[in-house]
Each structure stands twice: as C-alpha cells, then as structure tokens.
Structure 1
C-alpha cells in the first residue's frame, strides 16, 4: 500500500534539497522507476530501502544525472534540474567501486580530487589542504595518506571514496550502499564519519541494504517496490532489506567501471 511522501517529516528538517515528482526512468528499455515521489529536506538523513531490482540505485543515479528521467520532475536545492549547475554542493559515493580505477595514485591524491570543484583553476589553498586532511582523519586514513590506493583492503578503499566526497564539504551527501562488502571495523569508522557530517548539518540520502550501524542516524526510510514508493516514514520495525517483501538474499552490485555522468561530483 502506497503512503504519502509527507508522512513523518522530522521537525528539524528544513526546505527541500531533493525533489522528485512522479519520476519515471528506464534502463535498456525496461521501466525501473514508475512515478516516484521523493522529497529530502535540509538536515534530513533519509534511507532508501527495497529488495533487489526495486529501483533504489536508479533513483539516486537519476538525482545526480547519471540516469535521465523519462518523465516527471526533479529539483535540487530548489532549482529545476536542467538549470542546476552548483555540483560542488553535492558529494556522491557510488556503489561498490574502487578508489584507484586502475590509475596509480596515493590516498591523499584520490581524496584531494574530491576538493577540486571547490578550488579556482585547481590551485589548492591552505583551506583546501586542511579539508582534505580533515576528511582523511574522519575516515581513519590519515596515517595512510602517502600509501598507494592499490595496497588498500576493500574496506579501506571505501573509506577513501567517502573521504573523497567529504573533502568537498558537501551540503548534500549521497551514498549508494556505503556499507556493502565492508568489514565491521570499517563499518564503525564510516558510521562515525557520517555522524560527524550529520552533526555539521549535512543532508544525507543513503541507499542501504540494511540500516545496521547507521540506524540511529536515520530520520526517514523510503521503501521502493517495483519502482514505486510503498513506504515513506519511520524506518520499518524489522530493519533492513531482509524485512522487506521480495528480498532474495542475493546482493548484486554495479559494474566497478560505472561512473556518474556529472563529473563534477567525482573530479
């Protein structure tokens, strides 16, 4: 049974940062989003849940411009999507990829790339270097700053990707299954880093398989089924995707080579 997207908005939430209205999208000619309504307001932490193939990742990829909408409306920070240009306000962590992408680089170099959208002509100032260092410290990777990313474990790769997004000091942080395939130690570190961003007033949209250690931070859960919103409000009592109808306990991930079309989010 579908519910209103206005249900249970936390009192601390402000104006809309993401506004999807009657959004439709297709992949390979197959409809994936079927009239999705989603509002994320300033300061909210919203979890996007659903069984495999429900449209969660497609929804967030539509928000950052990687998957074009075939119908409906999208606005970011109150601006119609086709007129939005201020991508430095958004940090994006893609689903299950690596920090290196086959290019030799140190941890600091990868994280610094996330700061470039905030610089003039790519010239790093003291404030930029400080932001990079803060991001590394938040994810517990400052002591590995000079190491090659090729030497990192899967959990450490994920920490670096999140640090890259945090280095830009985004107002909106979008993360696609940030805990997938990550060890328990890294999960705790990433949860702590996210808690810090929420305390600073960041707005967060998370695609999650299970709420796990992030559960205390979640204001609302939006559950998708077959490309439609079937719940928008408090997280389900039995947390995580395992509680959702149709969960098949198989967790496919996106192609590691996949990158968003809006290069400003990852540059």
Structure 2
C-alpha cells in the first residue's frame, strides 16, 4: 500500500494545481483559450470533452511538454517553471507502450519512475520496496521479471500506472488511463485508484467517459474548443455518447484532433 498522506487544514486549502488564464497553441492553431482550473488537495477531478477540445493539451502544459502562450500555472503553490519536486507527481501518459520498443523488464520500467525519489540516482532498499508495492497494487507482481514487450495492452497500462505510483506521489495526473484497456484491467485500475484516493492522493484524469471511475469523481471539468464549458458535479449517467459535443472518433485517434461533432453542443 502506498503510504497515507497526512494533510492539515492549510494543506487542504492550498491548490495542488492552478491554471489561470492559460492559453496554448499547437503549431499556429490555438488549442487552449484562457482556461482556469484549480484542483485542491484530495480532490479527484475529471477533464472531459470531445476529441479536439484541448484535454490532453491541458495536461501537457501542466507538466511542461507544451509551452503556454499566456497565463500562469502553479504546482503545489510553486510556479511551474520553477517547480523541481517531480517526485510528488505521478504521470501516466496517453496511449503509449511501457518501453517504447526498448527491451526492458516490467521491474525496470516501474523502477524508472522511482528515480525522482532516489538519492544520486541510486535505488536503495526503500526504493526497491516501493517498486514492489507499486507492482502489487496493479496486480503485476507475478510479471515483474518479464519483458514488457510480452504484455497485452491492458498490462502495459498497468505497468505505466505502477511506474507513476513508484515515487509514492501526492498528485496523480493520468491521460485517458482506460482507453483501449480490457474490462479486467479497467477494474484493476479503478481499484488501484480507489486505494490512492483513500490514502489522500490528489488526482487529475483525462477521460473519454467516466466508466468504472465514476464513483470516485468529485468534479468534472468539460472543455470545448479550448474553453471551460462546465466545472462542477459530473454529468449524470455520462456515457461516451452522452458527452456534450461527443464525436465518433475512436479513443485511439491522435490527441486533440478535430472531429466531426454530433452532440447537443455541436
């Protein structure tokens, strides 16, 4: 079990994530148009919206993969550009394989996520124990010595989540963790996330639909055309085809591509 996180009232009041007036472009195309987003300690917030709405770009600006053209971003009260304590953050990227084609074992991939906590880049006894715990959490301890190239898509996703859990983060950022994952793995991932939330983790998720994670979601932020359309309780009975501005692009389409919209808000 990842260690519980003890928070004071001041901690609860402090935003873990703060985006204020954030705009960003991909190429010369505006993708985010002055969005505001605050996530407080212990919250579980889902970013929803049609493909092309800016969900993944918002995540990528947050972790520094996409530069902002305007606005401010803070993590744990520190300006993102000056933030260095990345061991407090666990990140699960969108639709990728665990090793990117490089030969590696499951343990090696998960251990790479612990390096942000390791002293001088050397894993010690406590680090190896954290890697084992992360593998146990996602039900992959029995595959620890296997090559990641032998895993199914759902197992790859479990390894990526274990890698994010290895540093025992206070904040989990996950970009469509359920996309293309079989039902059994979805259930494992939902259980794992429940345990992290119970331990006090703050979570920001990009989701195509809520699915088995719905009971965990405190707030839903719905984006459309790079703007915040809704910030509040999750829409009731939200399925893939009920989402405002829903499109028929498969979840594995390129991130933030512009779809043909068929929903009520098209």
Q: TM-score, normalised by structure 2?
A: 0.89
Cα deviation, residue 88, structure 1: 1.2
Aligned-partner Cα distance in 1 for 2:24–2:135: 36
| Deviating 4+ runs (over 2 angstroms) | 251-256
Match of 1:4 in 2: none
Q: Give yes or no for contact 1:51–1:241 (8 Å, CA) kept in 2.
A: no
SS of the aligned residue for 1:73 comes to: strand
Cα deviation, residue 252, structure 1: 4.7
Q: How many residues were matched structurally?
A: 245
Aligned-partner Cα distance in 1 for 2:79–2:113: 25
Match of 1:259 in 2: none
Match of 2:207 in 1: 208
Q: Give yes or no for contact 2:33–2:227 (8 Å, CA) kept in 1.
A: yes
Cα deviation, residue 254, structure 1: 6.8
SS of the aligned residue for 1:150 comes to: helix
Aligned-partner Cα distance in 1 for 2:132–2:59: 28
Q: 1:132 to 1:53 in 2, by over 3 A?
A: same
Cα deviation, residue 112, structure 1: 0.5
Unmatched segments (≥5 aa) in structure 2: 1-10, 256-266
Match of 1:144 in 2: 143
Note if 1:180 corresponds to 2:199: no
Match of 2:29 in 1: 30
Cα deviation, residue 239, structure 1: 1.2
Match of 1:134 in 2: 133
Aligned-partner Cα distance in 1 for 2:147–2:12: 40
Q: Give yes or no for contact 1:45–1:219 (8 Å, CA) kept in 2.
A: yes
Cα deviation, residue 82, structure 1: 1.8
Q: Give yes or no for contact 1:24–1:71 (8 Å, CA) kept in 2.
A: yes
Cα deviation, residue 255, structure 1: 6.5
Q: Give yes or no for contact 1:13–1:44 (8 Å, CA) kept in 2.
A: no
Q: 1:255 to 1:236 in 2, by over 3 A?
A: closer
Unmatched segments (≥5 aa) in structure 1: 1-11, 257-267
Match of 2:167 in 1: 168
SS of the aligned residue for 2:135 comes to: helix
Aligned-partner Cα distance in 2 for 1:13–1:193: 22
Q: 1:46 to 1:31 in 2, by over 3 A?
A: same
| Superposition RMSD in Å | 1.5
Aligned-partner Cα distance in 2 for 1:198–1:118: 21
Q: Give yes or no for contact 1:175–1:206 (8 Å, CA) kept in 2.
A: yes
Q: Give yes or no for contact 1:16–1:41 (8 Å, CA) kept in 2.
A: yes
Q: TM-score, normalised by structure 1?
A: 0.89
SS of the aligned residue for 1:231 comes to: strand
SS of the aligned residue for 1:117 comes to: coil
Q: Give yes or no for contact 2:223–2:230 (8 Å, CA) kept in 1.
A: yes
Match of 2:262 in 1: none
